[in-house]
Chains A and B, each alone.
Chain A
Amino acid sequence: MSTTSTPAVAGWFTTGDEPRLVASRCTACGTLVFPPPPPEAASFCRNPDCDGEQHEPAELSRLGRVWSYTDAQYQPPAPYVPTTDPFEPFALAAVELPEGLVVLGQVAAGYGVADLAVGAEVELVVETLYEDESGARTTWRWKPVVELGEEADQ
């Protein structure tokens, strides 16, 4: 049993029961950027009318709506790390968050394009992306929010 679980990339999302993406927010005008620049990097605000250079972490909403979606039916090239042999297709979604950003992500394990629609609600989860010498490396994924009525049918 794997005991260690660390994010594949540091500082982009929180973990726990209610994980959230972490953007960077310009302290001058509030413009959000995801993914956040590395802490040591300069962060010049993306807003052309703002000369802000200070930024702070800002957690984003856990719930969003699907802007569009697809899947990968062929194994992507490196540096993608395959986890199964043979390759198993996975779904991808671009999700519009209430803050006004669209963020890409893989779709949670067990869900495919048949479970998605433009405008459908999804929530953020954290799952294992691959394993390396340090143990499981996790990433953020979008999971369809099952309507109550549909849940009863399953």
Chain B
Amino acid sequence: MSKQVAVAGVGMHPWGKGGRPFVEYGVHAARAALADSGIAWRDVDFVVGGETVRNGYAGYVAGSTFASALGWNGARIATSYAACATGAQALDTARARILAGLSEVALVVGADTTPKGFLAPNAGERWTDPDWLRFRLLGMTNPAYFALYARRRMDLYGATSEDFAQVKVKNARHGLENPYARYRKEVAVADVLGSAIVSDPLHLLDICATSDGAAAVVLTSLEYAQRAGIADPVRVEAISTVTPTFPNTVIDMPLLATDHAAGGPPERTFKEALALAAYEEAGIAPDDVDVAEVYDLSTALELDWIEDLGLCKRGEAEVLLRAGDTTLGGRIPVNPSGGLACFGEAVPAQALAQVCELTWQLRGQATGRQVEGARVGITANQGLFGHGSSVLLAR
């Protein structure tokens, strides 16, 4: 039995800081995705919403909120939350129902309206909540975690601040022509190095902002796509949302310590396992990948992901970067959308935005940022509390 489903349509709302209700962004993206698919809202039989935790009850029941805003059509609904992997988990839920033969057309929507500045924990005295304790006892912000990983690259593999800055320069250039990107301006290495250090060694321009935004994907069975006249659709080949395997020995936001590895480190890290599960599910190898969209919460993290995805050996991502391999026109372009560097993070929408970008890339519709001849694309992201995802798309 085929384990593929069709990406019938994708749509986004431009990322920014508009401060409008997240529902408006989500409905805009949903209608764009439906229009892209040519499928009527009435024909959608399953809606999955990516939960936003910063917008009250409507955000907790996002699937219902979007379905209601589009006008109740009797579809079944679900809501997913998996931190930064929310969109991918929502997509996986839709895919599973389609592959089970229980649904034919699913609409997956993620949207967010975010506050300014550091993402802070919920209010109150919560002495058993690690996300609260890390601020109270350590003053450990998200960028501080990103900085730990960045420093390790420097001390272990010889990465430099200039390398990190070059990731930003590359992604800023990639995003120039992307109509959905929030930041569309060239950035020079000197701009990055001249920006304030937030958490050593990361500068302000090494770290992604938080944004408002929305992305939506219409999934259908391959049979439905064929009947609907969608010729040669992009296919979802795999969605990996595996959890870590004990012991997880890389310190994860927002935790204060790793698992206890009495018998030494495990065979692979959590992020390596995320990618491997996607490759194995699809029967696709890293060598087959033409383009990648990875979660560059920081510039240095993009380099980690390139290795986690098996696109080069551990410690060699800087070699690819310096050779221009990860730039548009290079051997394996990474973040042709401009990545989080150009978008900023809109948590429940971000993993879906990666899928939207790869869909446009594989269709040859990524005007101004097209990876020529791309047939296989992979996404990667990681969120809090053992959440993460990797989606493989092909055409």
Contact = CB atoms under 8 A, between A and B. Distances in A.
10 tightest A-B contacts by CB? A70-B147, A118-B155, A77-B120, A76-B139, A68-B148, A32-B260, A79-B136, A100-B261, A102-B258, A80-B139
A106 B256 contact: no
A69 B134 CA distance: 15
21 contacts: A9-B127, A31-B262, A33-B260, A35-B257, A46-B247, A69-B151, A71-B199, A72-B139, A72-B144, A73-B196, A76-B135, A76-B140, A77-B120, A92-B138, A99-B262, A101-B261, A102-B251, A102-B257, A103-B257, A118-B155, A139-B137
Contacts of A105: 138
| Chain A interface main SS type | loop
Contact of B152 (A9, A106, A118): A118
B200 A73 contact: yes
A47 B245 CA distance: 10
A69 B247 CA distance: 22
A71 B114 CA distance: 25
Nearest to B128: A38
Interface in A25-61: 30-35, 38, 41, 46-48
Interface string B189-228: 0000000111111100000000000000000000000000
A74 B15 CA distance: 26
A94 B189 CA distance: 29
Contacts of B147: 70-71
Contacts of B262: 30-32, 99-100
A144 B156 CA distance: 19
A74 B117 CA distance: 11
A73 B151 contact: no
A76 B258 contact: no
Given A70-B148, A79-B121, A118-B156, A46 B260 contact: yes
Task: With a 10 A CB-CB cut-off, give which of B128, B139, B156 has the most chain A CB atoms.
Answer: B139
Contacts of B155: 68, 117-119
Contacts of A23: 260
A94 B148 contact: yes
Contacts of B137: 8-9, 129, 139
A151 B37 CA distance: 70
B149 interface: yes
Contact of B138 (A33, A78, A104): A104
Nearest to B145: A70
A73 to B, nearest CB: 5
B141 interface: yes
Contact of B198 (A31, A73, A100): A73
B25 interface: no
A111 interface: no
Contacts of B199: 70-73, 92
Contact of B148 (A8, A69, A139): A69
A75 B196 CA distance: 13
Q: How many B residues touch the partner, as a band?
A: 35 or more
B298 to A, nearest CB: 11
Contacts of B257: 34-35, 101-104
Given A74-B198, A102-B257, 20 more contacts: A31-B262, A34-B256, A35-B133, A46-B259, A68-B148, A70-B150, A71-B199, A77-B135, A78-B120, A79-B132, A80-B139, A92-B144, A99-B262, A103-B256, A106-B138, A118-B155, A118-B156, A119-B155, A129-B137, A139-B137
Interface residues of A, number: 46
A147 to B, nearest CB: 18
Nearest to B147: A70
B229 interface: no
A101 B139 contact: no
Contacts of A30: 262
Interface string A99-141: 1111111100000010001110000000001000000000100
A146 interface: no
Nearest to B118: A77
Contacts of B197: 73
B264 interface: yes
Given A79-B121, A94-B148, A101-B259, A113 B136 contact: no
B246 interface: yes
A76 B141 contact: yes
B249 interface: yes
Max chain A Cβ within 10 angstroms of own Cβ: one of B137, B151, B264? B137
Contacts of A90: 139
A99 B201 CA distance: 29
User: Which has the most chain B C-beta neighbours within 10 Å: A47, A77, A79?
Assistant: A79
Contacts of B149: 68
B85 to A, nearest CB: 21
A58 B135 CA distance: 25
Nearest to B132: A79
Nearest to A34: B257
